[in-house]
Amino acid sequence: GAGVSQSPSNKVTEKGKDVELRCDPISGHTALYWYRQSLGQGLEFLIYFQGNSAPDKSGLPSDRFSAERTGGSVSTLTIQRTQQEDSAVYLCASSSGMTDTQYFGPGTRLTVL
Protein backbone atom coordinates (compact mmCIF):
# COMPACT_ATOMS: atom_id res chain seq x y z
CA GLY A 1 0.00 0.00 0.00
CA ALA A 2 0.91 3.66 -0.04
CA GLY A 3 3.65 4.77 2.28
CA VAL A 4 4.09 8.02 4.16
CA SER A 5 4.00 11.01 1.84
CA GLN A 6 5.16 14.56 2.40
CA SER A 7 4.75 17.80 0.52
CA PRO A 8 6.34 19.83 -0.79
CA SER A 9 9.51 17.87 -1.50
CA ASN A 10 11.49 21.10 -1.61
CA LYS A 11 10.75 24.53 -0.21
CA VAL A 12 12.85 27.64 -0.59
CA THR A 13 11.78 30.64 1.42
CA GLU A 14 13.09 33.97 2.55
CA LYS A 15 14.10 34.66 6.11
CA GLY A 16 11.13 35.88 8.13
CA LYS A 17 8.46 34.12 6.07
CA ASP A 18 6.16 31.41 7.43
CA VAL A 19 6.13 27.91 5.94
CA GLU A 20 3.81 24.92 6.20
CA LEU A 21 4.97 21.36 5.67
CA ARG A 22 2.49 18.55 5.17
CA CYS A 23 2.59 14.88 6.10
CA ASP A 24 0.18 12.13 5.05
CA PRO A 25 0.76 9.07 7.22
CA ILE A 26 0.07 5.48 6.28
CA SER A 27 -3.68 4.89 6.39
CA GLY A 28 -4.77 3.60 9.78
CA HIS A 29 -1.58 4.59 11.58
CA THR A 30 -2.45 6.32 14.83
CA ALA A 31 1.01 7.58 15.73
CA LEU A 32 2.76 10.36 13.80
CA TYR A 33 6.20 11.85 14.38
CA TRP A 34 8.14 14.80 13.04
CA TYR A 35 11.95 14.83 12.97
CA ARG A 36 14.49 17.30 11.64
CA GLN A 37 17.72 16.30 9.89
CA SER A 38 20.31 19.01 9.40
CA LEU A 39 22.97 18.54 6.71
CA GLY A 40 25.14 15.57 7.55
CA GLN A 41 23.55 15.20 10.96
CA GLY A 42 21.32 12.72 12.73
CA LEU A 43 17.59 12.92 13.20
CA GLU A 44 16.29 15.24 15.88
CA PHE A 45 12.84 14.56 17.38
CA LEU A 46 10.39 17.46 17.15
CA ILE A 47 6.85 16.35 18.02
CA TYR A 48 4.74 13.18 18.45
CA PHE A 49 1.02 12.61 18.03
CA GLN A 50 -0.71 9.46 19.30
CA GLY A 51 -4.41 9.09 18.60
CA ASN A 52 -6.48 11.68 20.43
CA SER A 53 -3.92 12.24 23.17
CA ALA A 54 -2.24 15.59 23.70
CA PRO A 55 0.88 15.74 21.49
CA ASP A 56 4.37 15.50 22.93
CA LYS A 57 5.92 18.81 21.89
CA SER A 58 9.08 18.39 23.94
CA GLY A 59 11.37 18.46 20.89
CA LEU A 60 10.18 21.69 19.31
CA PRO A 61 13.20 24.03 19.30
CA SER A 62 11.28 27.29 19.77
CA ASP A 63 7.77 28.74 19.90
CA ARG A 64 8.09 29.53 16.19
CA PHE A 65 7.45 25.85 15.56
CA SER A 66 4.00 24.30 15.85
CA ALA A 67 2.17 21.29 14.47
CA GLU A 68 -1.36 20.10 14.09
CA ARG A 69 -2.93 16.81 13.22
CA THR A 70 -6.43 17.04 11.86
CA GLY A 71 -8.88 14.16 12.11
CA GLY A 72 -6.18 11.86 13.35
CA SER A 73 -4.59 11.69 9.91
CA VAL A 74 -2.83 14.49 8.02
CA SER A 75 -0.37 16.64 9.94
CA THR A 76 1.00 20.10 9.23
CA LEU A 77 4.22 21.46 10.69
CA THR A 78 4.32 25.25 10.68
CA ILE A 79 7.44 27.33 11.12
CA GLN A 80 6.82 31.02 11.66
CA ARG A 81 9.34 33.78 10.93
CA THR A 82 11.82 31.32 9.47
CA GLN A 83 15.51 31.69 10.24
CA GLN A 84 18.51 30.41 8.29
CA GLU A 85 19.20 27.82 11.01
CA ASP A 86 15.81 26.28 10.24
CA SER A 87 17.24 25.00 6.95
CA ALA A 88 17.11 21.20 7.10
CA VAL A 89 15.22 18.17 5.88
CA TYR A 90 11.99 17.70 7.83
CA LEU A 91 11.00 14.05 8.04
CA CYS A 92 7.65 12.66 9.06
CA ALA A 93 7.08 9.10 10.23
CA SER A 94 4.08 7.07 11.26
CA SER A 95 3.47 3.86 13.13
CA SER A 96 0.45 1.74 13.78
CA GLY A 97 0.49 2.49 17.48
CA MET A 98 0.43 -1.23 18.15
CA THR A 99 3.98 -1.91 17.03
CA ASP A 100 7.16 0.05 17.55
CA THR A 101 8.28 0.40 13.95
CA GLN A 102 8.18 3.86 12.40
CA TYR A 103 7.94 4.30 8.63
CA PHE A 104 9.44 7.46 7.21
CA GLY A 105 8.30 9.76 4.47
CA PRO A 106 10.68 11.16 1.84
CA GLY A 107 11.09 14.43 3.71
CA THR A 108 10.76 18.11 2.83
CA ARG A 109 14.02 19.93 2.17
CA LEU A 110 13.62 23.46 3.56
CA THR A 111 16.07 26.16 2.54
CA VAL A 112 15.84 29.56 4.20
CA LEU A 113 17.70 32.26 2.32
Partner 1 sequence: GENVEQHPSTLSVQEGDSAVIKCTYSDSASNYFPWYKQELGKRPQLIIDIRSNVGEKKDQRIAVTLNKTAKHFSLHITETQPEDSAVYFCAASRGTYKYIFGTGTRLKVLA
Interface ranges with partner 1 (CB under 8 A): 31, 33, 35, 41-45, 48, 50, 56, 59, 91, 95, 97-107
Provide the b/e sequence for 34-66 (b: ≥16 CB within 10 Å). bbbeeeeeeeeebbbbbeeeebeeeebeeeebe
Question: Please, what is the minimum distance in Å from the beta carbon of residue 1 to partner 1?
Answer: 16
Nearest to partner 1 of 18, 46 (CB atom): 46
**C-alpha–C-alpha distance, residues 84 and 21, integer Å:** 16
Question: Please, what is the minimum distance in Å from the beta carbon of residue 100 to partner 1?
Answer: 4
Nearest to partner 1 of 66, 103 (CB atom): 103
Nearest to partner 1 of 42, 71 (CB atom): 42
Question: Please, what is the minimum distance in Å from the beta carbon of residue 2 to partner 1?
Answer: 14
Q: How many residues does the chain have?
A: 113
**C-alpha–C-alpha distance, residues 109 and 103, integer Å:** 18
